[in-house]
Amino acid sequence: MLTVYKTFEDGFRQINDMQEGCWVALTDPSATELLEVSERFTIDIDDLRAPLDEEERPRIEIEEDYTLIIVDVPSLEERNEKDRYATMPLAIIIARDAIITICLEETSVLKGFMDGRVRDFYTFKKTRFILQILYRNATVFLQHLRIIDRRSEEIEKKLHISTKNRELIELLELEKSLVYFSTSLRANEVVLEKLLRSKSIKQYPEDTELLEDVIIENKQAIEMANIYSNILSGTMDAFASVISNNLNIVMKFLASVTIALSIPSMISGFFGMNVNGIPAAQNPNGFLIVTVASFVITGIVAFLLAKKDLF
C-alpha cells in the first residue's frame, strides 16, 4: 500500500500525488508501487526491497541521490492464540525532495504520525522527522518492555500454584521476545551513533537535543531489556524447581494415601481366605470386629505418616 502525506500551511493531510516535501509511506508495497517510487525519486529498487526482508540488519547507506536508514521496530504477532513480540525492519529513505518509509506491515511507530497526533511534525523538515521517528521507535520499545514485565508478573503468580508447563512456556516466549528486543536495540544504537557522526544528513542546532534524547531513550530501552531478561531467566530457573517440588509434594501425598488405604485391603484379603483357623470366624460379630480393627490400624498408620509430614 502506498500513501502520501504532506504538511501544508493549514495542516497535515493525505494527498494523491508525490509532491516536493511530501512523506511517502509504503506498507507491504507491491512491485508496481516500488517501481513507481524508484523511478520518481531515482532510488535503487534493491534498496527499496531491502526492508521487506525480515532478517535485514539495521544500517545506514549513503548514496549520491539519497540516504538509506534501516532500523528495527517492535511488532506484535499472534501465535497459538497468544500475543508475541518480535521485531521487523523499517527503512527511512531521505531523497532530495521527500521522505520515504518502507515497512512490511503497519507499525505503531508511524501510526501516530499518520493520524496527526505528533506535535511539531512537518514532512518538509526531514532531519527532525527522522529523529522524531527514531524517538517514537525507542518509546514504543519501552512501552512493549513494560507490557512484557507486567505479563511476566501475572504468569509468576500462576506459577506459585501450578504443576504444569504452560506458564513456563509462556515465560520462555517472553524471554525470546526480550532477546529479540535487546539484539535489535543494540543494532539500532550503532545506527544512531553513525547518524550522530554522519555529515550526509544536515543537522540543525535545534535538533541536536532531540538526537541526544533519542540516544538516551534507546540506551534506557537496552538496559530495561537486559534487566528484564536476567530477571526472567532467573525466575524460570526458580519456578522450574518450584513446579518440580509441587509435583513431588503431590506424589508424596498420593503415595501416603496409597499406603494407608492398602491396610484395609490387605486385612480383608487375609480374612477372605477360605481356610480354617481364621480369628473371629465363628464370632457372630466377626465382620464388625475386623472392620473396626482395619479402620483403627489405618488411622494409626495415617497418624504416623502425618507426623512425619508425609500427609
pLDDT band at 70 (very low <50, low <70, confident <90, very high): very high
Assigned CATH topology for domain 2-245:
Beta Polymerase; domain 2 (3.30.460)
State the Cα–Cα distance between residues 93 and 34, nearest whole angstrom: 13
Structure confidence at residue 280 (pLDDT): 64
pLDDT at 162 over 70: no
User: What is the helix, strand, coil percentage profile of the chain, to 5?
Assistant: 60, 15, 25
C-alpha distances in Å from residue 297, one per residue of 48, 257, 271: 83, 14, 15
**Burial per residue of 10-24, b for 16 or more beta-carbon CB atoms within 10 angstroms, e otherwise:** eebeeeeebeeebbb
Domain 246-307 sits in CATH 1.20.58:
yes
More confident position, 248 or 271? 248
The predicted structure's pLDDT at residue 275: 63
- The answer on pLDDT for 163 being more than 60 is no
Residue bearing cell 503431590: 250
pLDDT of residue 102: 93
Q: Are 178 and 142 in contact, with CB atoms under 8 Å apart?
A: no
The tally of CA atoms less than 13 A away on the side-chain side of residue 187 is: 21
Q: Where in the chain is the domain with CATH 3.30.460.20?
A: 2-245
Distance (Å) of CA 148 to CA 105, 138, 175, 228: 22, 15, 9, 9
Q: Please check the confidence at residue 104 and state whether its pLDDT lies above 80.
A: yes
What are the backbone angles phi and psi of residue 89, rounded to the nearest 5°? -75, 145
Range of weakest confidence among 82-86, 88-92, 103-107, 238-242: 238-242
pTM, full prediction: 0.74
pLDDT interval class at 200 (50, 70, 90): low
Would you say residue 183 has pLDDT above 70?
yes
Residues of each domain in the chain carrying CATH 1.20.58: 246-307
pLDDT at 156 over 70: yes
Question: Average of pLDDT values for 258-286?
Answer: 73
